[in-house]
Structure 1
Amino acid sequence: MSMKPQLGNDTDSTQHEDDWFNANAAKKDIQHFVKSFRGKRTLDLLDLFGASGSVSAIFKNKGQKNCAVYDLKINGATDDICAEEGFYNLLTLACRMKSGGLVMGGPPCSLFVFMSSSIHRRSLDNPWGNTKYASVRLANRIVSNMAVVLDVLMQRDVHIVIEQPSGSAMFRLPPLAAVVAKPGWARVFTYMGAFEHDMLKPTILMGTLPTLHRMKRRRPDPQKFRKIKSTFYVNGKVGKKKTLTGRKALQGSAAYTKCFCRDLHKTWVEAVEGR
């Protein structure tokens, strides 16, 4: 049974499952597209899956006027990585990136984290998860298609940073795992709470930015975040088993703070200037 478009959460597509674009099956066409690209490389930043536009807003404020935001919630199929049109739009943006430019990506994490583990069933032995669920298959396709684009960006000397909650299983998905295992990638453990976020939010940054280690922060005092936790989560119980459910406010918490974006910009500038 194919999955119908159902916009409204962080793992969506405008396409029926039968029409999802498979970038791995189209690699020859993609390579030809990249080699044939004759457009100008003018973009400083690509805010990938950046519906809030928070990263691009700071970069523009700091003088980088040539920024692009790519997110399904903004432009529908044009920014749908699982639609052929949307994938090639992203590939065009990737080709337009300047050498030394930055792609900051926060791909949808909801089908890779603990709260949905009863659905996705991902493990070390089964990184693809329970593919009986269409939502899990969609999450896998989004990340698999993204991995193909990241490979192109690496070949074009573009810096990359991919962000996920610390418990996310995304980096173990084979297509992405193969990309981040290549030389030049680094892993940084940090806390969004150290960048003025309302949640402590332990976070993994994976990237090729040479100065990425400068985004590492010490763990803030957890007591500071306990009162506000109920804004984002609901504790419950199913039989004897304790449960944790996200409230509607949790999706909004994915937006990066101004503090994080400013520090990311500074870290990128230091890399570009060789500091």
Structure 2
Amino acid sequence: MTSRANVNGVARLQEQIKAIQQREAIVDQKLLETSRLIDQQSMAAVEEFPLDPNGVITSEEPEQVQEWTEQLKDFFSVDDRCGGRCQQTWPRYIEKAYPWMLGWSLEAMLVALLIRTHHHRRNGRCWLQYLEVFAGKGNLSRAAIEAGLQGASLDIEMNQDHDILQAYGLKLLLSCLTATVAGALLWVATPCSTFVILSSSVCKRTFENQYLGDIQRYCVQEGNVLADLSGLVLLLGFLLSLKDGMEQPSSSVMPCTPAIRAVLEYIGGRKTETFHFNFGAPTLKPLQLWSSCPYMTRMKRDRPSVACIEASALAEKDQTSGGFTGRKELLKESQEYTLEFGRSVISALLEARRP
């Protein structure tokens, strides 16, 4: 009897393992379809702008357009207090994606993008329930897929067409925003390499230069553009009633850069502090999570007190110079979310939606 019970137990375990592997294979295939295979053609259903007979962008909801106009004026006032960077840089970026908008005011550009989204939502053409920007390996997206959500994951590691520093990549990102349904998750995890304390001696981001750093360095210029575009995406997401989320390491000064600071102030972004270690990561990695939505507070975790924290630190401080040296064997691994972290974000989002 014991031998037969053991055989039956092994068989059940094998069946369970097989079922898990099958589910993982389905999720991996779905992630492939919604990440690497996402391109402008896959967004064709929401590419067009609604036009009147004279070829002018028009809206079926003039009251909504008036509300957006007033909201944008309020935002521009906030941006002015933060140095006006959004108004200085965003038109240049948007007209690269849409050359026919050359010479338009920033307000007109943004309203046109908002009108397009509402037009396609009204006509039932929008389907994205999450949009993960700078998705990395896509573990947050995997968690969303597991929960039955439809979405898109953008990252140049998945597809070079996702490079938002290029006109085609930014156009694709704005098309994906257009394809979102109201209440969809918008997650932005901007590359942090030039914003964290490890790069402070090279990038020289300080309060005095508004954390824009040594702009003679290409890596700093690139980081600044990524921050600017992240701010653009977050503002549009807020105006489109998305559930926004932005993640950075705790030592990152990106939230202090002019565009991000202006957007976070305007949308009422609040910081939630947490630790990647609490979600199964091999390193402590303190994180700052920003959102205008209450769901993010469910991600708060206290600093863990475990013996292995020093051994898993991402950087070591020189007690003489005060400088930091990164531990390369851990830095790369720490860049990716654990699946547990992704599941916690999705769980927090879905729990917040329940009555």
Contact 2:315 2:327 in 1 (8 A): yes
**Corresponding position: 1:51 with 2:118:** no
Summarize the alignment of residues 209-220 of structure 1 with structure 2, pairs less than 5 Å apart. Answer: 209-220=293-304
Secondary structure of the residue that 2:266 maps to in structure 1? coil
Distance 2:234 2:176 in 1: 12
Question: Who is 1:200 aligned against?
Answer: 284
Contact 1:209 1:268 in 2 (8 A): no
1:118 counterpart (201, 205, 223): 201
Shift of 1:243: 3.8
Question: Who is 1:83 aligned against?
Answer: 166
Contact 1:23 1:144 in 2 (8 A): yes
Distance 2:264 2:323 in 1: 35
Secondary structure of the residue that 1:213 maps to in structure 2? helix
Higher Rg? 2
Structure 2, unaligned runs of 5 or more: 1-88, 95-105
Question: Who is 1:254 aligned against?
Answer: 335
Question: Who is 1:164 aligned against?
Answer: 248
Question: Who is 2:147 aligned against?
Answer: 62
**Corresponding position: 1:174 with 2:241:** no
Distance 1:174 1:255 in 2: 27
CA change 1:98–1:236 in 2 (3 A) is same
Which one is further off, 242-251 or 92-101? 242-251
Summarize the alignment of residues 17-166 of structure 1 with structure 2, pairs less than 5 Å apart. Answer: 23-25=90-92, 26=94, 27=106, 28-37=108-117, 38-39=119-120, 40-64=125-149, 66-76=150-160, 78-126=161-209, 127-166=211-250
Distance 2:220 2:321 in 1: 27
Distance 2:158 2:148 in 1: 23
Contact 1:200 1:222 in 2 (8 A): no
Structure with greater strand percent? 1
TM-score, normalization: structure 2? 0.65
Contact 1:187 1:205 in 2 (8 A): yes
Which one is further off, 37-46 or 253-262? 37-46
Shift of 1:257: 1.3
The one-letter code of the counterpart of 1:117 is S
Which one is further off, 240-249 or 170-179? 240-249
The one-letter code of the counterpart of 1:269 is L
Shift of 1:222: 4.5
Distance 1:97 1:197 in 2: 30
Question: Who is 2:43 aligned against?
Answer: none
Secondary structure of the residue that 1:182 maps to in structure 2? helix
Contact 2:212 2:224 in 1 (8 A): yes
CA change 1:179–1:214 in 2 (3 A) is same
Cα offsets for 1:40-76 (capped at 9, x unmatched): 2211111110121101111111111x12101112111
Structure with greater helix percent? 2
Distance 1:107 1:193 in 2: 20
Distance 2:116 2:151 in 1: 23
Shift of 1:33: 3.6
Distance 1:137 1:183 in 2: 25
Distance 2:304 2:109 in 1: 47
The one-letter code of the counterpart of 1:272 is R
CA change 1:213–1:235 in 2 (3 A) is closer
Distance 1:24 1:147 in 2: 13
Distance 2:137 2:187 in 1: 13
CA change 1:102–1:170 in 2 (3 A) is same
Shift of 1:184: 3.7
Distance 2:328 2:348 in 1: 33
The one-letter code of the counterpart of 2:337 is Y
Contact 1:107 1:143 in 2 (8 A): yes
Cα offsets for 1:157-216 (capped at 9, x unmatched): 001110111111000110111000024421111111111111111110001222211110
TM-score, normalization: structure 1? 0.83
CA change 1:248–1:136 in 2 (3 A) is farther
Contact 2:315 2:324 in 1 (8 A): no
Distance 1:149 1:23 in 2: 11
Contact 1:236 1:245 in 2 (8 A): no
Shift of 1:30: 4.6
